[in-house]
Amino acid sequence: MAPAHPHDHAPDDHHGDHGHDHEHHDHGSAEQMAAWRDTDPSLWFTEAFWDDRYRERPIWSGNANQRLVETATELAPGRALDVGCGEGGDAIWLAARGWQVTATDVSPVALERAREAARAAGVADAITFEHSDGRSDWAPPAGAHDLVTVSFVQFPRAELTGFHRKLAAAVAPGGTLLITAHHADSHGGGETPFSAELFATAAEMAAGLDLGPDWQVSATDPTREAVVPPGPGGRPTTVRDAVLRAVRAPV
């Protein structure tokens, strides 16, 4: 996961429905920026780094990410895979709408918080939480999910295409792949500790996947309104996402 965690969602990511509200946009405050700058970038993707972040306080709002809501509202419930689930907002939103969800994350602290939230929401039986960093030898079952979603999991560019191909391979015939990422326009360079080279556009993600004729692919870089940093001291701003939606042809 990366400068923008396997779950870094922007302040308004969730329509009061997700997996992290992602309304705790950690990139927003000077304190959080300093924390990123003071950490060796090679540790941004580790279990220890994310456990430390989650131990400090809840990070996300519990609402679902906007791009997931936009996509999944139109889908019939089935089997979903939520990679980089954080505190469970997206997974809980899906489960409440009839999906059977497998949700993975690098942080055991986040996963325990997600389990508690799922129990409180009455959907614990519909979600299987699994510990995984999404890297190394990890690969989800091939062709097993009607929806595969990953929101703001920012791996180094050298690893990104391989990671995305694992996700695509997990999509069942007729299923949907949804990749939502931070766009360099909003998160790379400038006053942030993150290089723009860490962020791909939707078109770049699509080109790397090269899914072929059995897929219908939509690659867009939409904007949304957010408050950065979240809370009383924040200011309204417009942020840009990189969004890839791909539907696999049915058998």
pLDDT of 130-178, one tens digit each? Answer: 999 988 789 999 999 999 999 988 788 888 899 999 999 999 999 999 9
Tokens of 192: 């942030």
CB 69 within 8 A of CB 18: yes
Q: Which helix (H) or strand (E) holds 236?
A: strand 235-248
Boundaries of every domain in the chain: 26-248
pLDDT mean over 195-205: 82
The torsion of the CA quartet 200, 201, 207, 209, rounded to 10 degrees, works out to 60
pLDDT band at 40 (very low <50, low <70, confident <90, very high): low
| pTM recorded for the entire structure | 0.82
Distance CA 110, CA 49 (A): 12
- CA angle at residue 179 from 138 to 227, to 5 degrees? 120
- Output the pLDDT for position 211: 96
Q: Which residues contact 230 (CB under 8 A, 6 or more apart)?
A: 11, 23, 24, 25, 28, 61
Distance CA 172, CA 87 (A): 26
- Is 26-248 a domain of CATH 3.50.50.60? no
